[in-house]
Amino acid sequence: MDMKSTLFLADQWSGEQYSLLDSGDGQKLERFGSQTVIRPDPQAFWPPAQPVETWNADAHFDAKAGDDDRGNWRLLNPAAPDEWPMEWRGLQLNARRTPFRHLGLFQEHSVHWAYAQEKIRGAGRPIRLLNLFGYTGMMSLAAAQAGAEVTHLDASPKSNGYGKDHQAMSGLSDKPIRWIADDAMKFTAREIRRGNTYDAIVLDPPKFGRGTKNETWRFEEDLPGLLANVRALMSDQPLFVILTAYAVRLSHIAIAQALAGHFEDLGGSIEMGEMAIPHANDDRLLPTAICARWEA
């Protein structure tokens, strides 16, 4: 199987909708639509282009001691709303400040949304896509917009609810998207027993997570079994698989070879590497995650 390394740049945004304005000293300054926010980022340990104390923002996320994910938002602009609209290539969503420092979307995944749309539109046939750990649904909306029949799965009913809202906001209510709250391992095992298959599968598993009935997920322990299920669910005309990973002590080579090990019989090729966000005003890059993409 052909494997190559690449850099997956999230440069598909208009500057008005998302921009990485600056980063450094363990923090980043970003524009999300009408709001600008400051969030911690341990990888940004270089000097910022402008001193952090001069950054202007609507809100600042203060992490709890020793935890970069949980904390509290400190409003610097009292008039800033709790949620506000954003847009990506005609898809509409509401950004919102969460207690986990996120804003309702992972903007670096735009590189995969664009890839999926290109592959689905270029397939020249109906495509069934399964989106595992789908969060608030931007990948599902992008795939549906391109013409795919989508099954979206996330353990959080609240995230799925936001996804349904975004589907309506985007004018895609007539598009076939199933929104399912379930555990990924259990769902994929049931789909195998039912004989269901998919032409494309996207998975963005967390380092650690819990399912709808308190099932536990640990990336290094559970990913091999999930990849086996993913392989069993591929149709006889497979298109692609996208695997992303955050905050794990693994190389992109490791997850790419894990993916290759389950898809060896299908041939094809794998791209692997780091995902990164370019700065708006200089040539620096902010790394965000690792990923591997298999395509037939």
First-last CA distance in the chain:
10
Whether the per-residue pLDDT at 109 is higher than 60: the answer is yes
CA distance 249 to 135: 22
Of 33 and 213, the one with more pLDDT: 33
Instruction: Please name the residues in contact with 124: beta carbons below 8 A apart, sequence gap of 6 or more.
Output: none
pLDDT (0 to 100) of residue 210: 81
Residue whose token pair is 């995230």? 159
Query: Under a CB-based contact definition with an 8 Å cutoff, are residues 21 and 279 in contact?
Result: yes
Global pTM reads 0.95
pLDDT (0 to 100) of residue 76: 96
> What integer best gives the mean pLDDT of the chain?
95
Residue 237's SS3 state is coil
| pLDDT band, residue 64 (cuts 50/70/90) | confident
Q: What is the per-residue pLDDT across 129-148, written as a single tens digit (0 to 9) for each?
A: 999 999 999 999 999 999 99
pLDDT (0 to 100) of residue 209: 83
Query: Under a CB-based contact definition with an 8 Å cutoff, are residues 245 and 205 in contact?
Result: yes
Q: Residues 112, 126, 166, 230: is their CA dihedral positive or negative?
A: negative
Nearest to 248 by CA among 204, 196, 210: 204
Q: What is the per-residue pLDDT across 157-209, written as a single tens digit (0 to 9) for each?
A: 999 999 999 999 999 999 999 999 999 999 999 999 999 999 999 999 988 88
Which domains can be identified in the chain, with CATH numbers? Answer: 2-9+105-295 (3.40.50.150), 18-81 (2.60.40.1180)
Helix (H) or strand (E) holding 218: strand 216-218
Instruction: Please name the residues in contact with 134: beta carbons below 8 A apart, sequence gap of 6 or more.
Output: 140, 152, 153, 154, 159, 160, 163, 202, 204
